[in-house]
A and B are shown apart, each in its own frame.
Chain A
Amino acid sequence: MSVCFPRIAVTGMGIVSALGRGKAATLDSLLSSRSGVAPMSVLDSVHTDLPVGEVKETTEALAEALGVSPSIPTTRSALLGLMAIDEALEQAALSPISLRETAFVSATTVGGMDQSERYYLDFLTGDERNDYIALHDVGACTDWMASRYGPWGYVASVSTACSSAANAIIHGARLIAAGECRRVIAGGTECLTRFHLNGFNTLLILDHRRSRPFSASRAGLNLGEGAAFLVLEDEQIALERGQSPLAYVTGWGNACDAYHQTATSADGEGPYLAMKQALERARLLPSDISYINAHGTGTPDNDRSEFAALQRLFGESLPPFSSTKPFTGHTTSASGSIESVICLLAMQHGFIPPNLSDGEMLSPSCHPVAELQRRQTLRHVMCNSFGFGGNDSALIFSFC
């Protein structure tokens, strides 16, 4: 099938995570190999022995920084999202009210859980917290953010656990490729909650030290929080308004491992299929990829099956790869877009972020990038995101 799709340009991006607010702070941390994973200081949990990648401001401080009045009910995920969207729109030279023909595709899983876990018993007994009941669900989180901008032409929420934001970008790319719309703001947001910290803890997959993806001694992940959004445009309209693309979304793939609700298959069938489809969509060979930002959570299961899939697909030509989760923590539903922004920064500034794990790796053939690599030309970069339920996605960004 030979179809001529419009090229999908990235014209803006915004990010907030444990590495700080904005691209400059993120870049600075990456270039100085400074991790944002640290002892818990914002989340109110008894599990203070678990390191986390927090955005170091309280929800109230975030609201104030964004000019959201304390009288407006809100959630932490929505505020983090707002920060990232503001930055992305600014870079793309779009005003918040110029979005009439634009689609907004946002991903989250916890949604308003930070407030729900605070007020749940009140929800059950009376009406005084009804505003927060209405903010609990995934769609409400998206709507709250959407209401600060627009009017929009189309609004959608995606929720596929830890691959959510990657799937939001894929849905956005598909909307543009199919000619359904010409501009999409796509990404994800997720704050830390006691709900999912305890959930991951019951699965015994949280490391009490900083996570060590792909290392032989890896013992789990660290949770993180944050948000990132991309402005995607049909290249033509970007050029018409004088925006030069930062890069292009050229490949994407999603597949289901269909193996187990939380465990991953030993041969990494889902990850393998997702990456393979992304290459096919981008019409690239494995050897064309300059860098892979791995999902690399640091759990024994994920890294083993992801590495197996990488070996299956790339064989001898496995490009440099690293997981940046030791920098940010695993930002779950936001990780797909946060790591996409990291990939795009790496392409723009010509570097490969290190894996931040040393010692023996999971197999003698496994060599993630150990040290920061500068002066790199990254033409095609792959970004992996895998989630519960075996939901596996891969994205390819290109600059050429």
Chain B
Amino acid sequence: MSATPLYIRSAAQISLQSPLSDDWLTSPRAVVGDYVRAVDPNFRDHLSGSSSRRMGLVLKRAVTVAQQVLSEAGLDRPEAIVVGTGLGCVESTEKFLEALCRTGETLLGPTHFMQSTHNTIASAIAIHTSCHGYNITFSHKAVSFDLALHDAALWLLSEGRTDAFVGAFDEVTPTYHVLLRRMGFVGRDGQVACGEAAAGFLLSTESDRALCRLLAQSVCRATGSGEAAERLSDFLSAHNLTAADIDVVVSGINGYAPHDEAYDQLCRYVCPQVPVVAYKQVFGECYSAPALGFYVACRLLQHDAIPHHLFSSAVSVAPIRPTHILYINHSQSTDYAFALLQRI
């Protein structure tokens, strides 16, 4: 990334924690069961019935989150909308697919089909905010958010623009939860609950009232943990940082040992002494969960202490007021994403 600094000016989330709030910091909702749907706000407070009548849940959440992000930043519309989603508009896709498979190729209506494409989310936000700017959607399993963040940062810097809305959104219907279990993405030994995620951020070159600074961000593919560790070391040294500068790692560990192993090895190789914050025990697992990890990192940089329920190990950690947070994420131990956030 170039020398132009980037900031996160506002952020909002809807998840299985209290929506559009930071109650999870002090009084997190208990996660009960292996599949927990998001707690939705009263959408009527945010969206008019006529503008949202065709929207599935993921769209209502996305537009609500975007609205919140923009209003916190004091903007009517962003200059770009960059979205990540692992599965897109699942509810609409399922309705159309199920009708197709059960009743055949007749008597199908257009509504669910037209809401089924992945970019319906980014386009609903654009229509809602009358944003004619750059609009793109990345859909690549659990690095969907990271690819979106990466592209948004490159766009801002290469186009010399000021701000972009970046978000990641995944709804998990009861049916898709079953499918995610069947393919072994959730429901494995020791794994946290399957959740849902909607998180958005205003990425900006302006620091006014910003939550934190995004020092650097990177996405890469690596073969094996050795190569991933090498990439992470290069990432840190490219920004003149060492492990000693990192106060906390925000990690995507989810309790399933083979999945967590890739995180453990990265930390062991690169920053073995640094305490690890685990957010999925609070927010659950889904393809857009990493956006909630990034959200957690942004918020922790505004607070003077990190609550104990966020630490991955029971070992007591001395109170930390983080200055630098390293966010790490991986998908299938193949695609890795790193971000460095700094207190301002």
Contacts and interface: CB of A to CB of B under 8 A. Distances in A.
| Interface footprint category on B | 35 or more
A256 B113 contact: no
Interface string A241-261: 000000000000011111111
Contact of B105 (A45, A139, A151, A174): A45
B117 A159 contact: yes
Given A139-B144, A174-B154, A154 B219 contact: yes
A137 interface: yes
A261 B114 contact: yes
Nearest to B158: A178
A65 B62 CA distance: 43
Contacts of A139: 86, 139-141, 144, 331
Most buried by A among B96, B109, B160: B96
B41 interface: no
B223 A159 contact: no
B160 A1 contact: yes
Interface string B113-146: 1111111101110110111111111111100100
Contacts of B115: 261
A153 B141 CA distance: 17
B195 interface: no
A83 B155 CA distance: 31
Contacts of B160: 1
A155 B105 contact: no
A140 B135 CA distance: 23
A194 B100 contact: yes
A262 interface: yes
A154 B331 CA distance: 13
B133 A109 contact: no
Contact of A151 (B88, B98, B114, B223): B223
Given A121-B101, A174-B151, A273 B136 contact: no
Interface string A94-129: 000000000000000100010011001101100100
Nearest to B180: A133
A203 B88 contact: no
A385 to B, nearest CB: 13
Contacts of A134: 183-184
Nearest to B113: A199
Contacts of B178: 124
B310 interface: no
Contact of B183 (A47, A109, A133, A270): A133
Contacts of A150: 221
Interface string B159-198: 0100000000000000100110011100000000000000
Interface in A120-166: 120-121, 123-124, 127, 130, 133-134, 136-140, 142-143, 146, 150-161
B123 A116 contact: no
Nearest to B123: A389
Contacts of B117: 109, 159-161, 387-389
A174 B158 contact: yes
Contacts of A136: 179
Q: Which of B155, B179, B220, B221 has the most CB of A within 10 A?
A: B221
Nearest to A131: B183
A400 interface: no
Given A133-B182, A261-B114, A389-B126, A158 B136 contact: yes
A198 B138 contact: no
A391 B219 contact: no
A254 B135 contact: yes
A45 to B, nearest CB: 6
A222 B100 CA distance: 20
Nearest to A121: B101
A146 B137 CA distance: 20
Contact of B132 (A158, A256, A260): A256
Contacts of B120: 261, 388-389
B215 interface: no
Given A258-B130, A388-B120, A117 B183 contact: no
Nearest to A130: B182
A389 B119 contact: yes
Contacts of A32: none
Nearest to A127: B182
Contacts of B220: 153-154
B257 interface: no
A142 B140 contact: yes
B269 to A, nearest CB: 19
A240 interface: no
Contacts of A182: none
Contacts of B119: 159-161, 387-389, 391
Given A137-B141, A154-B219, A202-B109, A273 B132 contact: yes
A210 B283 CA distance: 51
A377 B100 CA distance: 49
B104 interface: yes
B320 interface: no
Interface string B89-112: 000000011101110111011100
A46 interface: yes
B155 A390 contact: no
A38 interface: no
A138 B139 contact: yes
15 contacts: A47-B105, A113-B97, A124-B178, A127-B182, A130-B183, A137-B86, A138-B139, A154-B221, A159-B138, A171-B151, A177-B158, A194-B100, A256-B81, A257-B132, A261-B124
Q: A-B pairs with the 3 shortest C-beta distances?
A: A389-B123, A199-B113, A139-B140
Given A161-B119, A167-B136, A171-B151, 18 more contacts: A46-B105, A116-B97, A120-B97, A121-B101, A130-B182, A134-B183, A137-B139, A152-B221, A177-B158, A178-B158, A198-B100, A202-B109, A203-B110, A255-B134, A256-B81, A256-B131, A258-B126, A389-B119
